[in-house]
Amino acid sequence: MPKKQSVVIFPGTFDPITLGHQDLVERAANLFDKIIIAVADNINKKTVLPQDERVKLCKNIFKDFDNITVCGFKGLLVNFVKANNCNTIIRGLRVISDFEYEFQLANMNRRLKSDFETVFLTPSEQYSFISSTMVREIAALGGNIEAFVAPEVVVAMTKFMSNDS
């Protein structure tokens, strides 16, 4: 009998993708045969980077990984998961407050799709404090974000934040 291929989806807005996200994806790449990074177009969030730019950045960052694909999506995550014949997602947990929110999401998703599974990963210690929200705030206030994101993300954030002025 052939081995079942394990596919997992890593959803998020990735506004911007941080070194913490990269750490989780790279570690998950050792656990799963295929990872789909699903860049959400979340109508409830005002993003700095447009979805197509976030997709482009993710594709560029993971271009050397054969088992990672990147695409954008709109709508319910559960529908994206079904459309990709998958039932598992990964989510990162940095602090206890993340767990409470993610636990609620995991249970809601399982209610919408009974075989929906969420696998939680914690980031490496050096990335445990990084969040996209903090990176956006530092960038908006003119701070240096080079220690928190890939170089191409610094360029994109600078470009799109200066367009807001």
Q: Among this protein's residues, is 45 annotated catalytic?
A: yes
Q: Among this protein's residues, is 94 annotated catalytic?
A: yes
CA-to-CA separations, 21 to 18, 26, 58, 79, 112, in angstroms, rounded: 5, 9, 10, 23, 26
Q: Among this protein's residues, is 21 annotated catalytic?
A: yes
DSSP H helix total and E strand total for the chain: 6, 5
Q: Among this protein's residues, is 54 annotated catalytic?
A: no
Q: Indicate which residue of 94, 110, 113, 128 is catalytic.
A: 94
Structure-block tokens of residue 33: 């045969």
Give the Cα separation of 40 and 124 in Å (integer): 24
Structure-block tokens of residue 28: 């998950």
Q: Indicate which residue of 45, 74, 111, 159 is catalytic.
A: 45
Helices 151-164, 132-140: axis angle to 10 degrees equals 60
Give the Cα separation of 101 and 105 in Å (integer): 6
The residues, ordered by sequence, that sit 6+ positions from 161 with a Cβ below 8 Å of its Cβ are: 48, 139, 140
Q: Indicate which residue of 21, 54, 91, 136 is catalytic.
A: 21
Q: Indicate which residue of 91, 131, 132, 136 is catalytic.
A: 132
Any idea which residues carry the catalytic annotation? 21, 45, 94, 132
